[in-house]
Amino acid sequence: MENALSKSFTQVEDMHMSSFLRYWYGIQQILEQRGQEEQLDFSRLLDPELLKMLEISIQMSTFEVPDVAEREIAFFQGLRAHVDGLLRRGSLSHDSEEVLAYESLMSLYSSQEEE
């Protein structure tokens, strides 16, 4: 599909490596058809915001989530628009584990700021 890769990222789907490689291969084929023979660098598929998400998700697998959130609070606060968008589209529900975790994290940080 024309926008499948984009849709996977915007709807926060957990993409399998095989799907990602199919998309990458498809992009390579399109580039070749257009006469561009250069290989597509994986990093060109990710914008700075997605790279930041990747960096933070790796940090969260190594460090305690509240510690990462405290260091990266501006990033987490910026996720509010994405969370709200996913809720509006029905991709997440207000009682989903992800939304509850996000709200809990934001309330934890808010209560620390007030102290």
Q: Are 75 and 56 in contact (CB under 8 A)?
A: yes
What does each of the 115 residues of the chain score in pLDDT, given as a tens digit? 556 666 666 665 666 767 777 777 888 888 888 888 777 777 776 778 777 887 888 888 888 887 888 889 888 888 899 899 989 999 889 999 989 988 988 888 765 555 5
Does this model's pTM top 0.75? Answer: no
Longest CA–CA span in the chain (Å) reads 60
Neighbour tally for 96: CB within 10 Å: 13
Q: Are 46 and 33 in contact (CB under 8 A)?
A: no
- pLDDT value, residue 68: 87
Nearest to 110 by CA among 85, 80, 83, 81: 80
CA distance 103 to 100: 5
- pLDDT value, residue 4: 62
- pLDDT value, residue 21: 76
User: What H or E segment, with its residue span, contains residue 62?
Assistant: helix 48-62
